[in-house]
Amino acid sequence: MSAEREVWREALGVVLATSAYGVSFGALAVASGLDVWQTCVLSLLMFTGGSQFAFVGVFAAGGVAALPSAIASAGLLGVRNVAYGMRMSPIVGTSRARRVAAAHFTIDESTAVAISQSDPRLRRVGFWVTGIGIFIGWNVTTLIGALLGDVLGDPKTWGLDAAAAAAFLALLWPRLKERQAIAVGIAAAVVAAALTPLIMPGLPVLVAAVVAIVVGWFNWWGRDLDASPAEGEAS
């Protein structure tokens, strides 16, 4: 299989997993009090799953009175896309039109697939196929979930709440070949899991990102690995 076909297969696998999760969002959004058209517009314009679920979760808990908090939570969780944008800027293309268009497709999944590739051309393929594919699939399944929410019942019974997490784990697993990468992943996961029940939606992800950056920056475990071959030669 060629390298480009492998990227397409990887990207489409993430597209299918994430799009399936859109059914869950559509059903939950309607259950929280949004109309079908409001739910669909939210997916079309916001198009970042974490922020959308944060918005719906806060809105469902407090209704219209909680709308400012819902917007703040969604915006806070969407801050990470700014960092993604800076990372993706040299990858998506040099023209202004491409960078403007890429802004709407710069999400967790498109960034993850892109940076998992070693060749610049394959990174662009991974980014655009994943971003555009999820945009189409997510909006289609959002509509389906919104229309069939009452029929589907609780989306968690179908396992849709775990689809996106499973896709990310599949992308992350092949990269966990060194102690440093494992340490970064474990540290971020533990911090996010510990803070989730304690602070508002969005903050655990940002704090975990800071922890991952600190662990990765100091390269505590990686330094030991780099030094060991030299020590072996000296002996």
CA–CA separation, 223 and 200 (whole Å): 35
- Looking at residue 226, its pLDDT comes to 45
Q: What is the mean pLDDT of residues 207-224?
A: 63
Residue 196 per-residue DSSP state = T
64-114 pLDDT, tens digit per residue, is 666 776 777 677 667 777 878 887 888 887 778 888 888 889 888 888 889
In the prediction, which pLDDT does 119 show?
A: 87
pLDDT at residue 48 tops 70: yes
Query: The pTM is what?
Result: 0.66
pLDDT of residue 168: 53
Give the pLDDT mean for 157-183.
Answer: 58
Nearest Cα to Cα of residue 4 among 120, 170, 164, 177: 120
The structure tokens 């609780």 sit at: 154
Higher pLDDT, 232 or 40: 40
Mean pLDDT computed over 150-154: 60
Query: Is it the case that residue 232 has pLDDT exceeding 50?
Result: no
Question: Which two structure tokens, joined as six digits, stand for 89?
Answer: 């800027």
| Euclidean distance between CA atoms 39 and 147, whole angstroms | 10
Chain position carrying tokens 């533990």? 190
Q: Please write the tens of the pLDDT for every residue from 113-129.
A: 898 888 888 999 999 99
CA 226 from chain center: how many Å?
31
Q: Which of 204, 198, 164, 133 is nearest to 49 (CA)?
A: 164
Higher pLDDT, 154 or 113: 113
Grade residue 140 by pLDDT with cuts at 50, 70 and 90: very high
Percent of the chain clearing pLDDT 70 (strictly above): 65
Least confident of 25-34, 106-115, 188-197: 188-197
